[in-house]
Amino acid sequence: MNRIFTILVLAGVPLTFVGSMMHWSSIVMFIICSVTVIAISSFMGRATESLAIVSGPRIGGLLNATFGNAVELIISIFALQAGLIGVVLASLTGSVLGNLLLVGGLSFFLGGLKFKRQKFSIHDARHNSGLLVFAVIVAFVIPEIFAMSMNEAKTLQLSVGISIIMIVLYLAGLVFKLVTHRGVYAHSEDNSTSEEHEEPEWTKKKALTILLLSTLAVAYVSESLVHTFEAVGEQFGWSELFIGVIIVAIVGNAAEHSSAIIMAMKNKMDVAVEIAIGSTLQIAMFVAPVLVLISLFMPQAMPLVFTMPELVAMATAVLLTISVSNDGESNWFEGLTLLAAYLIMGIGFYLL
C-alpha cells in the first residue's frame, strides 16, 4: 500500500502541473488532485505516527492533528481567495462531523472488531468533553443567535472577538495539557505497555522533513483542487454545502483518518482518540478562528455564522461523542453508532 501511495504522489504532482498548464477538464483535475492529496496525506500520517512513538500519545496526536489540519487550512485559504465562503464554512462543519463521527466511529468499530474492549484516558476524555461543548455549542451557536439581530458589520465584529477568545483558550489548553498538568492525570493501561518497545518507521529528522515537504506539496495541489469545485458541483448536482461538508472534509482530513484507524487497530486508543477529538478541537478553536482573521485581508470577510443544519449536526455529533467516550472505553457497537449518525447526516446534506 505504501508503494502505491508513493507512485500516486510521484505521478499526481506532475500531472497536476501539466493539467493546470493544458487546462484539462475540471472533473479530471478534481479526481487527480483529490487522489494526490490523499496519497500525500498518507506520508503525513506515517511521519506523525513515527513522531508519536518518540514523543508519546498526547504530543503525537497533537502533531497528527496539526499537520492533518494544515491540509484543511490550506484548502480553505484558497477557497477564501476564490470567494467560496459557503464551501469554507461547510468544510469546517464537515471536519467536525468527519473527525468525531467518521474517524472516531471507524476507530472504535475496526479497533473493536479486533479487541473486544479498548480503553483510553478517562481524564482526557472528560477534559475534551468540556472543550467540545464550549468550542462547538457555545462558540458556534452564540454568533448565530446574536447575528439574527445584527447587521453584517456587527456580526463580523462579534466573529472577530469570539475568534480571538477561542485562539487564546486553545493555546491555554495546550499549556494546561502539555506543560502545567503534563503527567498529572497519567494512567497505566494494559494496552499501553507495548508502545515503549515499538520502533518508529522514520527518525525524528526524517519524519519532520517529510512533513514539511508534504505540506508544501499539498499547498500546491490544493490550489488546483479548489478551482474545480464549482464546475464539479454543477456537473454532479452537488451543492456548496455538500461539497464542503463531505468532499472537502474527507479529502482534507485524510491524514487523520488513516492514522487514527491504524492506531486503533494497534490498540493505541489514547492516540486514536487524541487524533479524532484533538483534531476537532483544533478545527473549532484554532483553524476556524484563524480563517475568520485571515478573511479580513481577503476580498470578502467570513463571519463565524453557520447555517442551522450545520449547527444542529455539529451539536448532535458533539453530544453523541461525549455520551459514548466519557467512560474511557470503546467497542465496535459504539463505533457503528457513530458511523450511522455520520451516514444519516451525509444523506441529509446531499438532499438539502
Which residues of 104-164 form beta strands (DSSP E)?
118-119
Domains of the chain: 2-193+203-351 (1.20.1420.30)
- The pLDDT value given to residue 157: 93
**C-alpha to C-alpha distances, 129 to 41, 173, 294, 328, nearest whole angstrom:** 27, 13, 28, 12
| b/e per residue 317-337 (b: at least 16 CB within 10 A) | bbebbbebbeebbbbbebbbb
Closest by Cα among 1, 10, 24, 61 to 232: 24
What is the pTM for the complete model shown?
0.83
> What letter does residue 265 receive in the DSSP assignment?
H
List alpha helices for 285-331, DSSP H: 288-295, 308-325
- The pLDDT value given to residue 197: 59
- The pLDDT value given to residue 122: 87
> Which residue positions in the chain have pLDDT lower than 70?
1, 56-58, 60-61, 64, 183-197, 255-256
Provide CB contacts within 8 A for 153, sequence distance 6+. Answer: none
- Do 178 and 185 touch, CB atoms closer than 8 A? no
